[in-house]
Structure 1
Amino acid sequence: VYAGDGTLNEAANALIGTTVALAPLPGGSTNVFARTLGLPDNATEATRIVLDSLAAESIRHIGTGSVNGRHFLFHCGVGWDATLVRQTEKRARFKRFLGHGLFVWCGLETWFHLYDRTRPHFAVHHEDGRTIPNGCFTVVQNTNPYTFVGHHPFNVAPDLTLVDPLAVTTLTELRSKPFLGLMWDTLRSPESLVTHAIVDHVAKTNGLTITADEPVPHQADGDDLGDATLLEFHHHPDSLRVVIPERYPW
């Protein structure tokens, strides 16, 4: 499938539970999943690697996450980044020309004008019974990295692979100073994120629930899924066959 992450997500949802394997090729602006597998951003080079992988029969079952029944390949974001994705989709015609610049612009617009960072928006209920009542932004990952900043992976759960359960990271505060400090520390040393004062991190979980008094935005693999007051997450091991380069670090 030569496509961006959103279209790749739709293809994956159609193939869940079948014997047909998904072969991703980078056709979008960020191509998080294809690059996570070790494919280059160049479609010609990526095609050669995928063909070599097919010849070597390098096809594996991977796990996927789901939110309210919609499967995702690399992550689902709740809150701030989902609002950012929504703004980006409104300007989708500019993606090809502006690339990452569009994400930066929409990120700043969302940060300063479109998402209320002064209060919590939802509660996160973990499978061990713990509840985080003051969630401002949550990302549920099926694999790492969370995204790419240019050529650099933005690692939130560095040890997470495509055969592991989900990882959950919740920020309980979004004031500029602590948030920017967290981003800087994470870029330098991803391991520091889990000990940060405004972060609740669960390395491996098979499921969780998010509840909200008012509908909150959520996105999966960069696709806006709308707003909801109840989000139910599950991990589905071995649910999708994927053509994977032999270089992928299992």
Structure 2
Amino acid sequence: MRALLVVNPAATTTSARTRDVLIHALASEMKLDAVTTEYRGHARDLARQAAQGRDVDLVVALGGDGTVNEVVNGLLHQGPDPERLPRLAVVPGGSTNVFARALGLPNDAVEATGALLDALRAGSERTVGLGLTSGTPGSADAAVPARWFTFNAGLGFDAGVVGRVEQHRERGKKSTHALYVRQVVRQFLGEPSKRRGTITLTRPGEEDVTDLVVAIVSNTSPWTFLGNRPLYTSPKASFDTGLDVLGLSRLSTAAVARYGTQLLTSSPERGPQGRHAVSLHDLSTFTLQSKVPLPLQMDGDHLGLRTSVTFTGVRRALRVIV
């Protein structure tokens, strides 16, 4: 077996020594080419080259969710073809590692490498569904390139939080859960539309859902982690179904306190609920449109402001070693 290991040297929770140990362990079991990323988008370029060739059987992403997202977008550059494309494996090295943990992998890089090697020896893999976004025909964002996401996306409030965190990271701040919590508070205090939102969700054959302040799209569950605590916005979301959506139409102080408490106490059986919350399960395609440009995030990556985004749940998009 020939494998490509894509290494993010800025991964939050792995040292250079740990990465060397992991590379040695993987190289002992396969023909391994290890490449360290040098710029934003490099992981995507490397994975795209591996997908276009026919000699790489496995692409291993060593890094956080951003690295995984780039690798997935590179592998699926010309669309899903699970039987032809290299398989994906993940060694978590970020601060949260939602995709890896949702797959049931250990959150420790060394333990995850051991689990990966065991899975390869046993031939254990699964084919997962993924989310795909594109610009909506006829909108100002029609020409925006399509992009895949692995676990979640969001338009509005949560994407604004992600953007604030990225600004702090660009200034040298370390990505921590405390940083995220602080930015949630600051985003709320600066939110211009707390009581009536600007987002409308449309889907074929169904009544529109209007006046949303935030729309959180999930491809799996949990939505994210606060330390070791999983947070569930759409508990029924799964890699084996379409996309789920949690929409909130109010962000008053009382609503934030209520939904924040529900998130912290959420479980695989119960997520946020209430008069100003709407939950949709297993959607194949839908569009989020906003009267004003709003921030968009995918897999924790801030993608700027958008007024219209079309989402598609693509089942059985990629083979993953688990």
Say whether the fold is shared (TM-score over 0.5): yes
Instruction: Pick closer, same or farther for the CA change 1:96–1:37 going to 2, 3 Å.
Output: farther
How far the C-alpha of 1:113 sits from its partner, in A, is 2.2
What is the aligned partner in structure 1 of residue 98 from structure 2?
Answer: 32
Q: 1:213 to 1:168 in 2, by over 3 A?
A: same
Paired residue type of 1:78: L
SS, match of residue 30 in structure 1: coil
Residue 51 to residue 94, structure 1, CA distance change in 2 (3 Å): farther
Inter-partner Cα distance in structure 2 for 1:79 and 1:148: 20
1:223–1:115 distance in 2 versus 1, CA, 3 Å: farther
Match of 1:247 in 2: none
Q: Match for residue 8 of structure 1?
A: 68
CA pair 212-96 structure 1, distance change in 2 beyond 3 A:
closer
The 5 Å alignment of 1:168-187 reads: 168-187=245-264
For structure 2, which runs of at least 5 residues remain unmatched after alignment? Answer: 1-60, 135-145
Conserved 8 A contact 1:214-1:229:
yes
Provide the rounded CA distance (Å) in 2 between the counterparts of 1:111 and 1:56: 48
Cα displacement string for residues 162-186 of structure 1 (whole angstroms, at most 9, x for unaligned residues) = 1111111100111121222122134
Find the aligned partners of 1:98 and 1:126 in 2 and give their Cα distance: 36
Q: Greater CA deviation, 1-10 or 151-160?
A: 151-160
Give the aligned partner of residue 54 of structure 1. Answer: 120
| Cα drift, residue 52 of structure 1 | 0.8
CA distance, structure 1, for counterparts of residue 284 and residue 132 of structure 2: 10
- Shift in CA distance, 222/66, structure 1 to aligned 2, threshold 3 Å: same
Question: Structure 1 residues 2 and 95 mapped into 2: Cα distance closer, same or farther (>3 Å)?
Answer: farther
Alignment partners' CA distance in 2, 1:36 and 1:189: 16
Q: TM-score, normalised by structure 1?
A: 0.91
283, 287, 300: which is aligned to 1:209?
A: 287
Partner SS, residue 91 of structure 1: helix
CA distances 1:99-143 after superposition (whole Å, capped 9, x unpaired): 211111222221112554243121111334221110100011110
Residues 75-114 of structure 1: pairs in structure 2 closer than 5 A: 75-92=152-169, 97=174, 99-114=176-191
CA distance in 1 between partners of 2:225 and 2:248 (Å):
20
Distance 1:108 1:153 in 2: 20
| Structure-2 separation of matches of 1:8 and 1:223 | 11
Deviations 1:225-249 (A, max 9, x none): 11111110001111111112xxxxx
1:120 aligned to which of 197, 212, 233: 197
SS at 1:110 equivalent: helix
- Does the Cα contact within 8 Å between 1:127 and 1:205 map onto a contact in 2? no
Q: Is the 8 A contact 2:128 2:317 kept in 1?
A: yes
Provide the aligned C-alpha RMSD in A. 1.8
Q: TM-score by structure 2 length? A: 0.71
1:169 & 1:36 partners in 2: Cα distance? 18
2:231–2:266 contact (8 Å) kept in structure 1: no
> Cα offset for 1:89?
0.9
Q: Separation in 1 of the partners of 2:217 and 2:124?
A: 27
The one of the two structures with greater contact order (alpha-carbon pairs below 8 A, sep at least 6) is: 1
Q: 1:248 matched to which residue of 2?
A: none
Runs of 4 or more off by more than 6 Å in structure 1?
A: none
What is the alpha-carbon distance in structure 1 between the residues aligned to residue 279 and residue 69 of structure 2? Answer: 25
Residue 130, structure 1, aligned to residue 196, structure 2 = no
- Per the alignment, do residues 163 and 95 of structure 1 end up closer, same or farther by CA in structure 2, a change over 3 Å counting? farther
Give 1:146 deviation, angstroms.
0.6
Which deviates more, 189-198 or 129-138? Answer: 189-198
Render the CA deviation track for 1:23-65: whole Å, top value 9, x for unaligned: 1111111111111112222111111111111111112211111
Q: Which runs of no fewer than 5 residues in structure 1 stay unpaired? A: 245-250
